[in-house]
């Protein structure tokens, strides 16, 4: 029986030089086969895009590594569009505020669409083509109002891209992990809307966990692979830590631990044991 092909996607390419370097290294080593790019990050530029293109091209013999757009609409990042609102001190609102306002439907659809379009344009300018797929920082692509804007702009600017839904296969994880339950609930509506737009979605998703210092990532990763079908996505956050990352994100040391796991020898053994490949 042939191995099932899955997607292991490193989120947050471009968030900092050290994270980007770690992701490119794993792609070049063929340990992961996708990454999504934060074009709004102050540390993403044409050099970072060129480095990633070079690393991804090394997959040509076995199918290229996918490069996606990581739609970003939460603080501390700043919008690319001049008139985006609401914002605070020149940046997007915090995650909790964004989620609340999305559920209350008090965001501004036209300005959401304009900002997301600017991020698509930033991606095309950097890579010379549309993204292979679209997802969101803090999973914003699933939020009410935002999902409508993401799907509409994707249909217009990258109709062949697939969009990430975050439905969980594991009933145990949905019941014991509040974040997984929320993502699963939001993904049901997102999948229906994506289908209405004629956009493809991944058949399954895994990778959520609490970024605690005592997390046993190899053991967690094994559970991510349980029952994952062909085309399923495992989200991850590998990379190295630098001052830029510490300034922008609270997930730091676990990125180093994820990077070492994917670079080490336990990882390919787990793939083989679960009958999956990249």
Could you tell me the domains of the chain? 4-271 (3.20.20.370)
* Residue 202: predicted pLDDT: 98
Phi, psi (degrees; rounded to nearest 5) at 80:
-85, -25
* Residue 168: predicted pLDDT: 77
* Residue 177: predicted pLDDT: 67
- The CA-to-CA distance between both ends of the chain, in Å, stands at 15
Task: Give yes or no for residue 205 having a pLDDT over 60.
Answer: yes
Look at 24-33, 52-61, 103-112 and tell me which has the smallest mean pLDDT. 52-61
**Burial class of residue 88 in the structure, from the number of CB atoms within 10 Å of its CB (0-12 exposed, 13-18 middle, 19+ buried):** exposed
Task: Give yes or no for residue 173 having a pLDDT over 60.
Answer: no
* Residue 171: predicted pLDDT: 56
Residue 174 pLDDT class (50, 70, 90 cuts):
low
Residue 176 pLDDT class (50, 70, 90 cuts):
low
The percent of residues above 90 in pLDDT, for the chain, comes to: 88
* Residue 210: predicted pLDDT: 87
* Residue 178: predicted pLDDT: 72
219: CB partners within 8 A, 6+ apart: none
Task: Find the farthest-apart pair of alpha carbons in the chain and give their distance in angstroms, rounded.
Answer: 56
* Residue 1: predicted pLDDT: 55
Contact yes or no for 137/12 (Cβ under 8 A): yes
Phi, psi (degrees; rounded to nearest 5) at 202:
-70, 145
pLDDT tens-digit readout, 101-154:
999 999 999 999 999 999 999 999 999 999 999 999 999 999 999 999 999 999
pLDDT tens-digit readout, 66-88:
999 999 999 999 999 999 999 99
3-state secondary structure 57-93: HCCHHHCCCEEEEEECCCCCCCCCCCCCCCCECCECC
C-alpha 268/C-alpha 220 separation (Å) is: 15
């Amino acid at each position: 029986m042939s191995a099932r092909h899955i997607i292991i996607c490193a989120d947050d390419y471009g968030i900092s030089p050290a994270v980007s370097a770690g992701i490119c290294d794993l792609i070049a080593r063929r340990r992961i086969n996708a990454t999504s790019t934060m074009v709004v990050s102050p540390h993403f530029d044409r050099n970072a895009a060129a480095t990633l293109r070079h690393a991804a091209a090394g997959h040509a013999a076995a199918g290229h590594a996918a490069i996606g757009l990581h739609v970003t609409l939460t603080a501390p990042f700043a919008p690319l569009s001049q008139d985006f609102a609401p914002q605070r001190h020149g940046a997007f609102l915090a995650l909790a505020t964004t989620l609340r306002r999305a559920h209350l439907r008090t965001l501004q659809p036209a300005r959401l669409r304009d900002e997301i379009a600017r991020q698509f344009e930033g991606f095309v300018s950097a890579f010379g083509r549309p993204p292979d797929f679209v997802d969101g920082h803090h999973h914003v692509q699933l939020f009410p109002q935002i999902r409508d804007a993401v799907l509409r702009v994707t249909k217009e600017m990258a109709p062949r891209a697939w969009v990430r839904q975050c439905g969980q296969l594991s009933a145990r994880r949905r019941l014991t992990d509040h974040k997984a339950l929320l993502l699963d609930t939001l993904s049901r509506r997102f999948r229906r809307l994506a289908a209405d737009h004629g956009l493809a979605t991944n058949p399954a998703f895994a990778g959520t966990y609490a970024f605690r210092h005592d997390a046993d990532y190899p053991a967690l990763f094994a559970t991510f692979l349980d029952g994952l079908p062909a085309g399923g996505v495992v989200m991850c956050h590998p990379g190295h830590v630098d001052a830029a990352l510490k300034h922008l994100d609270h997930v730091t040391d676990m990125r180093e631990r994820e990077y070492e796991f994917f670079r080490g020898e336990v990882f390919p053994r787990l793939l083989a044991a679960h009958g999956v490949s990249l």
